[in-house]
């Protein structure tokens, strides 16, 4: 019986409790990135292609911050991070395929 209890203790997931400061810092970073997006879209209207690319880059950084801190991928097992990368790579691949199909029609 003791061996069974020992086995469950070693296989239980390690919980990570994020501090309020970490959540607040992430929130402030997301607000600043949102303000940067608004600033670029308002004052960078003459650079349309660069403005869109910059806004997409900022959105990617914001999504990464949300995934790492609010979805706790930073502290979870690496397999979850690997699966997230696989899913995002497939999404980008299919998005490119749809864009190429649309352009060639």
Mean predicted confidence (pLDDT) in 12-29 = 80
**Contact between 51 and 40 (Cβ < 8 Å):** yes
The domain total for the chain is 2
Q: Tell me: do 63 and 32 sit in the same domain.
A: yes
69 pLDDT band, cuts 50/70/90, is confident
**Domain presence at residue 55:** yes
Residue 78's pLDDT is 83
Q: What is the pLDDT of residues 32-57, one digit of tens each?
A: 999 998 888 887 666 666 777 788 88
Query: What whole-number distance in Å separates Cα of residue 35 and Cα of residue 43?
Result: 12
**Domain presence at residue 100:** yes
pTM for the complete prediction? 0.65
**Domain presence at residue 3:** no
**Domain presence at residue 98:** yes
Q: Tell me: do 70 and 81 sit in the same domain.
A: no
Q: Tell me: do 60 and 81 sit in the same domain.
A: no
**Domain presence at residue 7:** no
């Amino acid at each position: 019986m003791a061996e069974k209890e020992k086995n469950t203790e070693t296989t239980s997931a390690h919980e990570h409790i994020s501090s309020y400061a970490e959540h607040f810092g992430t929130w402030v970073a997301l607000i600043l990135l949102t303000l940067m997006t608004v600033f670029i879209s308002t004052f960078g209207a003459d650079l349309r292609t660069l403005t869109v690319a910059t806004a997409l880059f900022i959105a990617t950084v914001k999504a990464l911050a949300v995934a790492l801190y609010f979805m706790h991928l930073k502290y979870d097992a690496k397999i979850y991070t690997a699966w997230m990368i696989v899913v995002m790579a497939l999404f980008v691949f299919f998005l490119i395929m749809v864009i190429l199909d649309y352009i060639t029609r």
